[in-house]
Amino acid sequence: MVLPPQNLLSGEASPYLRQHAENPVHWRPWSTAALEEARQLDRPILLSVGYAACHWCHVMAHESFEDADIAGVMNRLFVNIKVDREERPDIDQIYMAALTAMGDQGGWPLTMFLTPDAKPFWGGTYFPPRTQYGRHGFVQILEAVAGAWNNKRADILRSADTLNAHVQSKLGASLPSQMIDANALPGLATNIYRMIDHDQGGIKGAPKFPNAPFMHTLWLSYLNSGNTAHKEAVVSGLCHMLAGGIYDHVGGGLTRYSTDAQWLVPHFEKMLYDNAQLLRLANWAYGETGTEIFRIRIEETIGFLLRELRVDNGAFASSLDADSDGEEGLFYTWEQNEIEAILGENSASFFRHYTLSKPTSWHGKPILHQSAEQARSFGNRHEELRPSLQKLFIVREKRIRPGRDDKILTDWNGLTITALAECGRSFARQDWIDAARTAFDHILCSADSGRLPHSTLGDKAQFPAMSSDYAAMANAAISLYEATWDATFIEHARHFVDQLELWHADEDKTGYYLSASDSADVPIRIRGDVDEAIPSATSQIIEALARLSSITGDVTLLDKAWKVGEHAVGRIARQAYGQAGIINACEILRYQHKLVMVESQGKSQFVPVANRYADPRRVDILIRQGDPIHISLPGGISPSSHEAGAYLCKGQACLPPVKAGEELEQALKTS
């Protein structure tokens, strides 16, 4: 079937796709119908992948896709397919891997040319509309690719077959398992530490990304070995980020990355996943150091999430755009005279604690940030600065806001629910735990016949879910159990793992594919082993299986976790990058901590202590004194339900039970 010669994006749920619904390009969403059209017309496919908050996606859209002449060339020569990478991470990862295999560093917008049977043969990222600055123009590229398709098709098909086989081997292969090596995490942590920028924090060079999986590796290394240098690398990196322009000092929340090495000039899009991961890291750092800046930024960032990303049903939208009124960062930046006019006589005090900077590489208004000295004293002065920040916030709210991508991604919401539940425990904030529970309930209610969607917007849900969705929600369910002691969350986690097994397990039952088995439009089933800005799907699965097996004592789940982990380790042995998530998850599996607390019916002396000492390796279980106990601990220890006590186990060894909260606090401090 040949689809109508018109743009077909207006009925899509994705805000990114709808941004392109008025383009003169005859866009099709990714579908079996669009792929069939390319085969029938015998035309190559022009695949364009991006996301709603992407600045350079907007630039290419304005320059090329809104241009009637360029659209005419696209419509005449290609079947044009537009993909939201957040809605279809399985499609995005396939073609991003193809681009990097060609020697390109990748990025978005992703522009790929495919054969009619969806095999990639050439591509790039952003292209200017016409040749300039030594770069070929988009029109020139379109005509050259079409010419090569018509005149050198045999060569293109051979190249496409080779590239497609390479991607399938890299992302979807089954390889022999390897033992989970006790030296894997220390070795990775050592390599990451060598890349640390000890002056500015984070990884050396520019651009600078938060890179939560790397920070997680260093934190686990510190917890396991006591390597304080690795702890300080995480703490210092967070401090620099949270003082820099990459952090929104007026409204809270982290932007996606800084374009420079000083965390000063951000790429202003705000992503849900970045802030979820920031909350967990800052929570661990606050519990360890007591540094006030972490407490303040946690409260501000959760305030931002609840105020600006929570949609009406209580779940969380995906992102805020980098641009407002067509200009990147316009909503967030300030001239000094604006601030002075708003704050009046308080402006001098304000500028003793904040700085406005405008480096030559930045063409907008100055960016608000803090120097290292200002950041060091800020924690003690925050309360007196709060009224000034609130005045700036009120004025800023009257500006043209960045667009919001309202689609609800299940896996990103799972990460956020986990972070809110953990921070709610640590700070005794029931309202944060309630917000996590409300978001969880919404995701649960969006299921159809027990299956989760990957993405929802209003009454439009995109099925089926990815493996990352079930894993993230299983981890979220366990974190909510630990925050509420409601055992129904454990049953939800079991259900998610069952669905994962039903729809995503590979043929040998040694791992899982990212896409479900009934995803008819996926050209290659990939595993999801590679970290991106968030840990890989495989790493989240291993962590979920490890935590659920520990909290339930289910040996079958534990065996499954080890099998999946060992086969994942076998695959990543030939992976060039993006392995940190799997190594982190395998370390949690290898070095599990379990805390069983038998509390008296009248009061809790152990739970408040456990809540203050967050540890990503540990699962916590509550039993009320006198209730039946169905839990067995490593080493043959059986908790007693007759008297209050706390049992802390590390791996296959348990410490003697402690009888008072102060004893548990000491045990957790030294663990």
Listed in sequence order, the residues at least 6 apart from 113 whose beta carbon sits closer than 8 Å to its beta carbon are: 44, 45, 46, 47, 78, 120, 121, 122, 123, 145
Whole-number pLDDT of residue 134: 72
How sure is the predictor about 105, in pLDDT bands with cuts at 50, 70 and 90? confident
**H or E segment at 49?**
strand 45-50
Query: What is the spatial distance between Cα 599 and Cα 339, in angstroms, rounded to a whole number?
Result: 53
Other Cβ atoms within 10 Å of 562 Cβ, number: 20
The stretch 17-22 carries a mean pLDDT of: 96
Whole-number pLDDT of residue 312: 87
How sure is the predictor about 219, in pLDDT bands with cuts at 50, 70 and 90? very high
Please tell me the least confidently modeled range out of 8-17, 358-367, 407-416, 623-632: 623-632
Q: Residue 82 in contact with residue 48, Cβ under 8 Å?
A: yes
Q: What percent of the chain has pLDDT over 90?
A: 86
Whole-number pLDDT of residue 670: 85
What would the 3-class secondary structure string for 287-316 be?
A: HHHCCHHHHHHHHHHHHHHHHHHECCCCCE
Whole-number pLDDT of residue 576: 81
pLDDT at 209 over 80: yes
Whole-number pLDDT of residue 526: 96
CB burial class (10 A; 0-12, 13-18, 19+) of residue 341? exposed
Query: What is the spatial distance between Cα 254 and Cα 270, in angstroms, rounded to a whole number?
Result: 6
Query: What is the spatial distance between Cα 632 and Cα 97, in angstroms, rounded to a whole number?
Result: 45
- What 3-state class would DSSP assign to 614? coil
Query: What is the spatial distance between Cα 446 and Cα 455, in angstroms, rounded to a whole number?
Result: 10
The conformation of residue 227, written as its DSSP 8-state character, comes to: -
pLDDT at 636 over 90: no
Q: Which two tokens stand for residue 291?
A: 């540094």
pLDDT at 341 over 90: yes
Output b/e per residue, 626-652; b: 16+ Cβ within 10 A.
eeeeeeebbeebebeeeebbbbbbbee
Give CATH for domain 407-586.
1.50.10.20
How sure is the predictor about 627, in pLDDT bands with cuts at 50, 70 and 90? confident
CB burial class (10 A; 0-12, 13-18, 19+) of residue 564? buried
Domains of the chain by residue range: 15-172, 185-406, 407-586, 593-669
pLDDT at 135 over 80: no
Q: Which two tokens stand for residue 580?
A: 């940190």
What would the pLDDT profile of 41-73 be if each residue is shown by its tens digit?
999 999 999 999 998 999 999 999 999 999 999
What would the pLDDT profile of 345-360 be if each residue is shown by its tens digit?
999 999 999 999 999 9
Whole-number pLDDT of residue 49: 98
Nearest of 202, 377, 383 to residue 299 by alpha carbon: 383
Nearest of 384, 383, 409, 429 to residue 283 by alpha carbon: 429
Whether 15-172 and 407-586 share one fold: the answer is: no
Query: What is the spatial distance between Cα 180 and Cα 566, in angstroms, rounded to a whole number?
Result: 6
What would the pLDDT profile of 430-441 be if each residue is shown by its tens digit?
999 999 999 999
How sure is the predictor about 285, in pLDDT bands with cuts at 50, 70 and 90? very high
Question: Between vectors from CA 329 to CA 324 and to CA 330, what angle results, nearest 5°?
Answer: 60
Give CATH for domain 15-172.
3.40.30.10
In sequence order, what are the beta bridge partners of 620?
595
Looking only at the bridges linking them, the beta strands covering 27-29 and 79-84 are parallel
